[in-house]
Amino acid sequence: MSKKFILLCFVVFFFCYSVFVFGEPQQFDVVIYGGTSAAVTSAVQVKKMGQSVIIVSPDKHLGGLSSGGLGFTDSGNTNTVGGLSREFYQRIYAVYQNEKTWQWQNISDYTNVGQGTKAMLHDDKTMWIFEPHVAEFVFDSWINELNIPVVRNLQLDRQNGVKKIGTQIVSITTLDGHTFEGKMFIDATYEGDLMAAAGVKYHVGRESNDQYGETWNGNQVGILHHGHWFKKPVDPYVVPGDPKSGLLKYIDNSKPEIRGEADHRVQAYCFRMCLTNHEPNRVPFPKPENYNPNDYELYVRVFQTGWRETFDKFDQIPNHKTDTNNHGPFSTDFIGMNYDYPDASYKHREEIIIEHKNYQQGLMYFLANDERVPEDVRKKMSQWGLAKDEFIDNGNWSHQIYVREARRMIGEYVTTELDCMAKRRCPKPVGLGSYALDSHNVRRYVTPAGTVQNEGDIGVSPRGPYGIDFGSLVPKREECTNLLVPVCVSSSHIAFGSIRMEPVFMILGQSAATAAVLAINEKIDVQKLDYEKLRERLIADGQRLFYSGQNNINSNSVDVNKLEGIVHDNNSAKLIGIWNSSSSMSKFVETDYLHDVNEDKGKKSAEFSFTITKSGNYGVRISYTPNPNRSKAVPVKVVHRDGESTVTVDQTKKPPLDNLFVPIGIFPFDKTATITISNAGTTGYVVVDAVQLILQTP
């Protein structure tokens, strides 16, 4: 008996055994891998366009974060949300018209407003704030109405489970041996597992500002937004003042490094908790295994500074429940503990998830029970607990960790801050984003002054709604020609901070599915699809691809492009020390201004560097927001052709030029100009907004 015959017999036996155990490969026009909200809208769109589709979900529950606790929707400008994404929120509204949905609260008593939009918009019958189980009911009902097959708890074999012929995916196989063949594939996971297994290039971490010409990417030392930072000095050492005693838990021993530099870090994860203080539905916070109250010593020291914002993100959703999110310098975000997650094995990911769960459950138990917690906080927290009627098969704890960022594809088009800030025009929009460029902290480190500080938190408004390009949904053609990626889209870290909202994922899921079906119908690579045909179908199906309404910029802000001369906003300044971002006062340039928190005098500065293309005398002006609490003598140093000059500015007075700029003087410049604003020798707040150079006529 020849070796070839033996080998042939083995192959035939294995094939027959596989068919007996697993069945023949299932064939569909479109195979969707993932159980997120984007997976659902993708599947619904494929079915509505008359093609066969299946959802292969690694999760037990459909809906991802939308059914996993994030019910206080990060909606942004709701006028940008159309198509199936808007239909989801209309379906939520319809459920809440049934009085039986209001088990613990009267509908007339619910008047919550959140994320810039009313909870219930009766004019177009949408509702943007909801309970987790209601969202899951909507997703499941939608799927069942269209008889879309869903297989759950099937994980992709990431090593050997993607079969390709050339640039085409032929089939995917799960770890338990189920195989699904398709003409087109959609990766709708938060992690991008199918994309990565198919050999598509991707990025993890923060790019440098230089890579894409951005200002809010990379390391963000010195930039503090939202209040998720240590406003007062907190000692980082086990024995206060003694570095030899070691760092408290959850503090990184890395150096501050340089703002704008690339690194491997991703923004922090947490669970969006559904809590209640309604006693008939409340479950007391459980004490997790291996609970150690000393793990939360850093929080104790935050309380000792007088901080009292523990309950500021207990956002109200119906039936006396919350969508509870991270808030403050020490909270539910497990900062710095997720760097491995995007590329980790399933086993290691599960370990990371368990660590996050233990940390967060331990935190809540600590706040409700530990005597080191201030009595007013402890007493109030002990009245809260998990909602008994949510996540009933998972101990009332969310089944979905908040993967704010994992892999990001490097596709045909990379959406960056330039798109979000209207510095370039999106050529082929398939959906709109509008939320702030929002990144949570990525680490907690020790400052040169020997105190603890958070780093990475960003919250910058875009220049209004912006287009997300079709090229951001597809890989480069030489890598894969029948795959679309509506969640781990091709974008920079900071642009993804805006894109990564659930309404947008549902929008992009529908657009990806539309492109997939059109490409199948034309029997072409998805990258070769005629955009005009895609656009026509998207608009016909209710997608909103263009926006002509009022933008999102604060009404107090001034467009830098409408100012004369050369203007540099604070986002291009080289900062020394920790400056806080604000937009509460008027009037200012672009999206925000910075202030020195009236602290660390003599240790903070902002350097503005200009390239001068036409030598001559220039009028130098600076902008700031005046207030009685400002410094009356802010030093402004100007380095010019003849040397350097320092002028002091009284920032308590209103700027005389358009209520925005104050003149510093006229100086000669050749190739460069450097203007530095510092807080040396000042009393009161120092504000840094923008610097303007005006060429003087002879």
- The answer on 397 and 252 residing in a single domain is yes
Report the distance separating Cα 13 and Cα 326, nearest Å: 55
Report the distance separating Cα 600 and Cα 577, nearest Å: 8
- The answer on 463 and 572 residing in a single domain is no
Instruction: Check residue 11 and give its pLDDT.
Output: 37
Instruction: Check residue 556 and give its pLDDT.
Output: 66
Residue type, 472: S
Instruction: Check residue 550 and give its pLDDT.
Output: 52
Let me know if residue 16 belongs to a domain.
no
Q: Which residue among 514, 530, 553 closes a domain?
A: 553
Q: How many domains does the chain contain in total?
A: 2
Q: Which residue among 553, 586, 618 closes a domain?
A: 553
* Residue in the block written with tokens 């529908």: 510
Which of 336, 262, 327, 248 minimizes the C-alpha distance to 292?
248
- The answer to whether 132 and 71 are in contact (CB under 8 A) is yes
- How do residues 104-128 score in pLDDT, each as one tens digit? 999 888 876 666 666 776 678 999 9
Q: Report the alpha-carbon angle 75-78-84, nearest 5.
A: 90
- How do residues 320-346 score in pLDDT, each as one tens digit? 999 999 999 999 999 999 999 999 999
Average pLDDT across the chain, whole number? 93
pLDDT bucket at 591, cuts 50 / 70 / 90: confident
- The answer on 172 and 120 residing in a single domain is yes
Which of 634, 613, 610, 615 minimizes the C-alpha distance to 624?
634
- The answer on 591 and 488 residing in a single domain is no
- The answer on 485 and 444 residing in a single domain is yes
- The answer on 642 and 570 residing in a single domain is yes
Let me know if residue 528 belongs to a domain.
yes
**Could you please report the per-residue DSSP string of 269-327?**
-B--B-EE--GGGEEPPP--TT--GGGGHHHHHHHHTT---TTTTEEEETTTEEEE---
- The answer on 398 and 260 residing in a single domain is yes
- The answer on 147 and 282 residing in a single domain is yes
Task: Report the percent of the chain where pLDDT is more than 90.
Answer: 83
**Facing residues of 568 across strands?**
691
**Could you please report the per-residue DSSP string of 139-203?**
HHHHHHHTT--EE-S--B-TTT-EEEETTEEEEEEBTTS-EEEEEEEEE--SS-HHHHHTT--EE
Q: At what angle do helices 37-48 and 132-145 cross, to 10 degrees?
A: 20
Q: Is the dihedral of CA 29, 33, 36, 38 positive or negative?
A: negative
Task: Report the percent of the chain where pLDDT is more than 70.
Answer: 94
> The CATH number of the domain where 671 resides is what?
2.60.120.260
- H/E run at residue 129: none
Let me know if residue 323 belongs to a domain.
yes
- The answer on 87 and 157 residing in a single domain is yes
Let me know if residue 17 belongs to a domain.
no
Instruction: Check residue 116 and give its pLDDT.
Output: 60
Instruction: Check residue 118 and give its pLDDT.
Output: 66
Domain, as residue range, for 353:
24-553
- The answer on 563 and 546 residing in a single domain is no
Let me know if residue 9 belongs to a domain.
no
- The answer on 545 and 567 residing in a single domain is no
Let me know if residue 10 belongs to a domain.
no
Q: Which residue among 506, 535, 553 closes a domain?
A: 553
Q: Is the dihedral of CA 320, 326, 330, 334 positive or negative?
A: positive
Residue 583: is its pLDDT beyond 90?
no
Residue type, 220: Q
Let me know if residue 12 belongs to a domain.
no
Residue 18: is its pLDDT beyond 50?
no
- How do residues 597-627 score in pLDDT, each as one tens digit? 888 899 999 999 999 999 999 999 999 999 9
Q: Is the dihedral of CA 154, 155, 159, 161 positive or negative?
A: positive
Average pLDDT for residues 402-429, to the nearest whole number? Answer: 95
Residue 656: is its pLDDT beyond 70?
yes
Number of H helices, E strands in the chain: 13, 41
Let me know if residue 8 belongs to a domain.
no
* Residue in the block written with tokens 């702030």: 436
- The answer on 195 and 85 residing in a single domain is yes
pLDDT bucket at 576, cuts 50 / 70 / 90: confident
